[in-house]
Amino acid sequence: MQPAIPHILTVNGGSSSIKFALFAAGDSLTQILEGSIEGIGKPEATMQVKGLTAAESFSRPVTAPDHTMANQKMTDHKVAVDTLMDWLEERGGQDGLSAVGHRVVHGGPHYSAPERNASTMVEALRQLSPFDPQHLPEEIQLTEAFQRRFPDLPQVACFDTAFHHDLPRVARLLPIPRRYEAQGMRRYGFHGLSYAFLLGELARLAGPTAAQGRVILAHLGNGASLAAVHEGKSLDTSMSFTPTAGVPMSTRAGDLDPSLLWYLARTEQMSAQQFNTMVNFESGLLGISETSADMRDLLEHEAEDVRAAEAVALFCYQVKKWIGGFAAALGGLDTLVFAGGIGENAPVIRSRICAGLGFLGIELDETQNQTNAGVISTPTGTTQPIPSGSIGTALSCRPVTVRCCCTACCISPAMRCHSTKSNDSANGAGYAARIWFHRGQHLRTRYEVNRSETSEHLADDCRRQSDCAQAATRCG
């Protein structure tokens, strides 16, 4: 028996955690509870649930068997999955759910939209596992566990790569022998569910014109990437075949000279597996600082620890370079959006990234920036001189009126520069970008859930879970 109001569960399964949320799908989505199983594979693994009342909230240990089995990683994950299944059955099992939405990191070359889970799709994902061995096996295991426990419950897969599926060919091609393209080797891009959510909010809060403009989305968290978007479509993104590429991240290296592998293999006898471990789990902020992968720790110690200072400086420098490159690819910039735990909660990082980008029309209002206001750019942007030989003497920027709701996230309208005498003379010069950043608290306001946490994982998961829930509503 289905509940009177459809209840949709969204699940974000990873190698060391499973995060989930439950939504009531009436006229709009209302989040009922959220939870996670953290520390999978560790003795202190726990399941935490936070509902609307204290009675619905709890924390309990997740007991794993003795670590004596051959494939302990998958065994520990199975214990975590079974714990989640048991709890769902306590809540009423399939009778209490209408659909499940899964965040799936990699959709490969074929999946470009949410898909109803079927045996053929699960088998296709199994074939894609070499593309993403760190996530897909666990995500497949979750899907199969729901199928076994609740065989009649609709499941929908929402792919993090789908947003970038139709990148222009010049952006998705990898400069390696062409024969590898036939094997699915291309730029895929990730954080797509976050980007889709941000664009939807941009359209909702600033109007469709803003969302159709030239937008750079900067998702800066433990994992960090940027995307160049025009007319609502991804034109390029910093992550590539895997989420390791692009800007330096908490423990991921970002872009590297590929010959480093060959050099380290010769000089240190480093294997491919060891290299993969290094660039995914030992590099980035952690590798440079040698102390922490957490930006908050690095900012706290940068004054007395040059390693921390260099890690922060490298991160800001590389993000700034990608913004400049994407502005060139877009032919200008109307909107810059900061999201993710660092992007939302670190004013000093935003300030350092934007310093020196006045030639793009980016100028921060430091008072607004320091208080994490919705709009953190100056009201008028910057004034740029008209190129020599053009008609007119200056460009003036005209702001677009935008509504901002209290704790809600406000994302930018475009501020277009117009020549006082000639529109043609403004072409290609002096576009002022109003900068907004996405606050994780917005989703809580939107779904009428009062919570105070502003951690990076919660903000990121809220975006992913809401998109999965909406997709499950449509497909289920």
Residues 150-189: pLDDT tens digits?
999 999 999 999 999 999 999 999 999 999 999 999 999 9
Tokens 């006082």 sit on residue:
420
Predicted confidence at residue 35, as pLDDT, reads: 94
At residue 13 the predicted structure's pLDDT band, cuts being 50, 70 and 90, is confident
Radius of gyration of the chain (CA): 23
Give dist(CA 422, CA 417) in Å, integer.
Answer: 11
Q: How far apart are the first and last CA of the chain?
A: 15
Q: What is the mean predicted confidence (pLDDT) over 320-330?
A: 96
Give dist(CA 131, CA 154) in Å, integer.
Answer: 26
DSSP state of 64: P
CB-based contact 298:289 (threshold 8 Å): yes
How crowded is residue 292: how many other Cβ atoms within 10 Å of its Cβ?
Answer: 18
Give dist(CA 116, CA 94) in Å, integer.
Answer: 17
> CA nearest 140: which of 110, 114, 119, 161?
119
Q: What is the mean predicted confidence (pLDDT) over 380-405?
A: 31
Higher pLDDT, 339 or 284: 284
Give dist(CA 396, CA 381) in Å, integer.
Answer: 9
Taken in order of first residue, the domains within the chain and their CATH numbers are 7-159 (3.30.420.40), 208-439 (3.30.420.40)
> CA nearest 329: which of 238, 443, 239?
238
Catalytic residue among 132, 160, 460, 467: 160
CB-based contact 437:337 (threshold 8 Å): yes
At residue 437 the predicted structure's pLDDT band, cuts being 50, 70 and 90, is low
Predicted confidence at residue 463, as pLDDT, reads: 55
Residue 326's contacts (CB-CB under 8 Å, 6 or more residues apart) are 216, 226, 227, 228, 236, 333
Give φ, ψ of 101 to 5 degrees. Answer: -110, 125
- The tens digit of pLDDT for each residue in 198-225 reads 999 888 878 899 899 999 999 999 999 9
What type of residue is 274? Q
CB-based contact 19:81 (threshold 8 Å): no
SS3 377: strand
DSSP state of 364: B
Give dist(CA 299, CA 348) in Å, integer.
Answer: 9
Predicted confidence at residue 424, as pLDDT, reads: 33
Tokens 């940027």 sit on residue:
226
Q: Is 160 a catalytic residue?
A: yes
